[in-house]
Amino acid sequence: MRSRGQLQACFGHMSGMCRVALPAILALCAIGPARADLGTAIEFYNPQLNHYFITAFPEEAAALDAGTPIQGWVRTGGQFSVFTAPADGLSPVCRFVGTPGLGISSHFYTADAGECAIVRTMPAWTFEAIAFYIPTPINGNCGTNWPVYRSYYTDQIADANHRFTVDLTAYVRMTQRRGDIPEGVVMCAPLSPAEIDADIVRLGEQATMGPTEAFVSEVRGKGAAAWVDEQLQMNLTRYTQPGWYEPQTTMEAMLCINDTTPPITPEKFCDTNKKEPFPVAWEFFRQAKTAPDQLRLRMAHVWHQIFVVSLLSRTYAWAEFEQRLRDGAFGSFENLLVSYALSPQLGAFQNWVRNIPEHDGIRPNENFAREVMQLMTIGVNELNEDGTPRLDANGQLVPTYGQADIQTFARVLTGFTFPSQPGKPLDFWGAQQYFIGDMIPFDEFHDQGVKVALNGRLYLGPGGGAMADVRAALKVLVDHPNTPPFISKQLIQKTVTSSPTPGYVARVAAVFKDNGAGVRGDLAAVTRAILLDPEARGARKIDPEYGRLREPVLFWTAMIRGLDVATDGLAPQIMVGGSLQELFAPPTVFSYYPADFTLSGGTVPGPEFGIFTTAEFVNRANGVNNLLYNRDGPWFWWTDAWGPQGFVPNATGTPSPTLEAFMPDAANPDVLVERMNRLFLHGTMKPDMRQTIVTAVTKLAAPSQAQRRVKMAVNLTLVSADYQVQK
């Protein structure tokens, strides 16, 4: 019977490197058939020549790495699997080199037999070898294999070079980076088991609260699409709704005085920590660890940052509000927007609860009227379908709304009040506020006039009812052509990459517009489109402008899941607060960090860097350190979170993980670091980083320092910029 440790030593399938080094472990592997016929086409780049080169010959790659005899070529990180022997359904790929003195200094590859035959007759090209064997596309389609794109660069004089890549983002950007002409899909790369697993880890980074080895096993069996479809059907995890405590006196109702007589139970909602949002945040982290409906949790966390509410108390209603986002994550965008807009939490946060028509020179509050347009539907400037800004004839940005539009929308947003407290009569101006359930419309407090806005997109006749008017106005925003690209781009940025190509945005926006069955705003379809897009999927992404910095919340949930940390939620809640992402309390309606934050004041989008300060790198390093070692040095009340605390229900603290899954590999640094590479970096660990970590781990004596070795490897991997950036 193979031990769990031994099986997990075979996580994924051994790459060629490990196969050479560890035949004994390979013998234990029963996961996946041996693919002795698969090789890897590795991409190199020469900065002097500005040329790309691929080779599937390991000796040639090693020679280029060594710089002997030829210097100047560095690996790009790009690679794809190829077959190393002929077989049915495979095309041999002819490799040519420019004939010295006659042709250009470049290589040429083709999988097309006819093309190969023709080029063989050209004196300017010398046939070198069959580079590898590979399927070719049928009508541009690769089926379950991965498209290999080719782009062509020429200076029109004497220089030309092709680039072959499976990375669609990199391919699309070759035009702007080198002036390449895109030539389409020319080959279809098979996927090695390691590549399949790597893409699953990436899917976990994009679509869950953090990948685990169990998640990889699960998806390996069914494939990404099937997993996504299953997840879209699940709605299982609910926040605990605390009970309602009836204040006993007027003063108590006003002050919500704490009842701290033990035992402190959930029913005493005015208990100290029931006024804070902390209990819901603790539950968030506990559920992130174990909930089966990971995609819904992940997307609700995204929606929380778009449909923002930031109140620091009223916990009894906070869980209900967050549950709206979970419940609506895969429904219609319009329903989610309405659910958000009618929440009393939002009503109070954005000051439109008890908004009434103009009186005594006081106009209705414009806060939500402005923000719902600026941040949640159409944005400030007109957009093309691909998310790029539309420019007018003079090359200027075109605003989507003006002050008059805001004022008109503010007039629409009138006449709603808090739901009544249980057992109390409903009263528009009632002294007591209640935050559970939708706000209640009162037509007599609603602006009954004609409302025209957004160049007539909004037209509401006189005498409209409050609810009908509000719903109609929100629908106008949903139907606005800006909304699909504006929302789609943000969703991509919060799951896959901070800088999506216009093509990616356009493809997703198209699904937002119409899910294929004529429905607009189908968030299940949109979510699916984002995750299954070829710019999201793939074993490794090498475009320099791809990926996103892990925000503190997801940095911590990924560690909790990936390291199998038992937590009652307190420590991660405190840690993310120290990283400027205090969960459920974004500083303003602009969320934890601005959606349009760019790197170094430039033009590359990097929203999460808005809260990544010079100290944050060290802050995260210390956080990982604390998690792994539960530092028992200086004690701050708010960082003393690692042990069980009395004010946390069912407190268990967050003790250091045992890391038992990795302990069997402690004796062999190479294997241990490769485990880190597989689970945390989906196979992309750079050789220099690998060497540094292996060297450091080796310096600790085995077996006495076995656990320290494992912690060292985990620590260095998780703290690296390579891990901080999810790509």
Partner 1 sequence: MDPQRSTVDSPRRRRLLKAAAASGLLAAVQRNLALAQAAPDYRALVCINLAGGNDGENMLIPYDSVGYQAYAAVRTPQSGINIPQAQLQPIQPASLATPFGFHPACAPLKALFDQKKLAVVANAGTLVQPSTRAGLETQGAPRPANLFSHSDQTLAVHSADVAGFTRTGWGGRIADGLDPANGGVLFPPLITLAGMMTFVAGRTSIPLSVPSGQGFTLHNSGGGNPFQFDALREAALRQIIAQSRSNIYEDVAQMLGEEGLAASSVVYPILQNRSSPAALFFAQLDSDIARQLQTAAQLIEARAQTELKRQVFFVQQGSYDTHGNQAADQGRLLGELSQAIQAFQSALTALGLANNVTTFTLSEFGRTWKPASNAGTDHGWGNYHFVIGDAVRGGDFYGKQPTRALNGPDDLGGDGRWIPSTSIEQYGATLARWFGIADADLPYIFPNLGAFANTNLGFMG
Q: Which of residues 628-667 bind partner 1 (CB under 8 A)?
A: 628-629, 631-639
Q: Which of 662, 661, 679 is nearest to 723 (CA)?
A: 679
The answer to whether 313 and 276 have CB atoms below 8 angstroms apart is: yes
Alpha-carbon dihedral 463, 466, 468, 472, rounded to 10 degrees: 100
Residue 422 makes contact with partner 1 by CB under 8 A: no
Residue 220 makes contact with partner 1 by CB under 8 A: no
The correct pick among 391, 450, 618, 667 for binding partner 1 (CB under 8 A) is: 618
The residues in 267-326 that bind partner 1, with binding defined as CB under 8 A, are 272, 275-278, 311-313
Q: Of 154 and 724, which CB lies nearer to partner 1 in the complex structure? A: 724
The residues in 225-264 that bind partner 1, with binding defined as CB under 8 A, are 251, 254-258, 260-262
- In angstroms, what is the minimal distance from the CB of 636 to partner 1? 6
Residue 87 makes contact with partner 1 by CB under 8 A: no
Structure tokens at 4: 């769990």
The answer to whether 348 and 435 have CB atoms below 8 angstroms apart is: yes
Per-position x/- string for 512-551, each x denoting binding to partner 1 as judged by CB under 8 A, each - no binding: ------------------------------x-xxxxxx--
Q: Of 61 and 641, which CB lies nearer to partner 1 in the complex structure? A: 641
256 sits in the region (left: phi over 0; alpha: psi -120 to 50; else beta) called left
Three-state DSSP state, 675 = helix
Residue 722 makes contact with partner 1 by CB under 8 A: yes
State how far the alpha carbon of 404 is from the alpha carbons of 410, 453, 454, 473, 569, in Å. Answer: 10, 8, 9, 15, 46
- In angstroms, what is the minimal distance from the CB of 689 to partner 1? 5
Cis peptide before 485 (omega within 30 of 0): no
The correct pick among 612, 642, 662, 680 for binding partner 1 (CB under 8 A) is: 612
The residues in 159-188 that bind partner 1, with binding defined as CB under 8 A, are 174, 177-178
The answer to whether 354 and 416 have CB atoms below 8 angstroms apart is: yes
Q: Of 599 and 663, which CB lies nearer to partner 1 in the complex structure? A: 599
The residues in 109-128 that bind partner 1, with binding defined as CB under 8 A, are none
Structure tokens at 46: 């020469």
With contacts defined by CB under 8 A, how many residues of the chain interact with partner 1? 91
Three-state DSSP state, 356 = coil
- What are the strands, taking DSSP E only, across 2-87? 38-46, 51-55, 74-83
Residue 580 makes contact with partner 1 by CB under 8 A: yes
Listed ranges 211-219, 397-405, 560-568, 712-720: which one lies at the site for partner 1 (CB under 8 A) = 712-720
Q: Look up tokens 């299940």; give the residue.
A: 524
Question: Rounded CA gap, 111 and 723, in Å?
Answer: 36
Residue 689 makes contact with partner 1 by CB under 8 A: yes
Q: Of 77 and 331, which CB lies nearer to partner 1 in the complex structure? A: 77
Residue 597 makes contact with partner 1 by CB under 8 A: no
The correct pick among 21, 160, 651, 696 for binding partner 1 (CB under 8 A) is: 696
* Alpha-helix runs per DSSP H in 682-720: 687-698, 706-719
Three-state DSSP state, 606 = coil
- In angstroms, what is the minimal distance from the CB of 516 to partner 1? 33
Q: Of 487 and 542, which CB lies nearer to partner 1 in the complex structure? A: 542
Per-position x/- string for 479-518, each x denoting binding to partner 1 as judged by CB under 8 A, each - no binding: -------------------x--------------------
Listed ranges 2-10, 217-225, 595-603, 661-669: which one lies at the site for partner 1 (CB under 8 A) = 595-603
The correct pick among 397, 398, 615, 667 for binding partner 1 (CB under 8 A) is: 615
The correct pick among 59, 88, 360, 688 for binding partner 1 (CB under 8 A) is: 688
What phi, psi does 88 have (nearest 5°)? -60, 140
Q: Of 459 and 617, which CB lies nearer to partner 1 in the complex structure? A: 617
* Alpha-helix runs per DSSP H in 395-501: 403-412, 466-479, 483-495
Query: Do strands 74-83 and 51-55 pair parallel, antiparallel, or not at all (unpaired)?
Result: unpaired
Q: Of 527 and 715, which CB lies nearer to partner 1 in the complex structure? A: 715
Question: Rounded CA gap, 417 and 454, in Å?
Answer: 26
Q: Of 151 and 231, which CB lies nearer to partner 1 in the complex structure? A: 151
Residue 617 makes contact with partner 1 by CB under 8 A: yes
344's CB contacts (< 8 A; 6+ apart) are 317, 353, 418, 419, 433, 434, 435, 436, 437, 438, 439
Signed CA dihedral, 546, 552, 555, 557: sign only: negative
- In angstroms, what is the minimal distance from the CB of 609 to partner 1? 6
Question: Rounded CA gap, 285 and 575, in Å?
Answer: 12
The correct pick among 144, 394, 600, 650 for binding partner 1 (CB under 8 A) is: 600
The residues in 64-83 that bind partner 1, with binding defined as CB under 8 A, are 76-77
Listed ranges 20-28, 109-117, 558-566, 583-591: which one lies at the site for partner 1 (CB under 8 A) = 583-591
Question: Rounded CA gap, 123 and 103, in Å?
Answer: 8
Question: Rounded CA gap, 402 and 424, in Å?
Answer: 41
Question: Rounded CA gap, 488 and 345, in Å?
Answer: 25
The residues in 332-351 that bind partner 1, with binding defined as CB under 8 A, are none
Structure tokens at 578: 């120290």
Listed ranges 105-113, 198-206, 478-486, 705-713: which one lies at the site for partner 1 (CB under 8 A) = 705-713
The answer to whether 399 and 370 have CB atoms below 8 angstroms apart is: no
The correct pick among 297, 410, 585, 672 for binding partner 1 (CB under 8 A) is: 585
Residue 703 makes contact with partner 1 by CB under 8 A: no
Query: What single-letter amino acid sits at 383?
Result: L
Question: Rounded CA gap, 199 and 545, in Å?
Answer: 19
CA Rg value for the chain:
29
- In angstroms, what is the minimal distance from the CB of 263 to partner 1? 12
Three-state DSSP state, 646 = coil
Listed ranges 125-133, 193-201, 408-416, 716-724: which one lies at the site for partner 1 (CB under 8 A) = 716-724
The correct pick among 158, 214, 519, 604 for binding partner 1 (CB under 8 A) is: 604
Structure tokens at 640: 């003393």
The correct pick among 616, 671, 673, 679 for binding partner 1 (CB under 8 A) is: 616
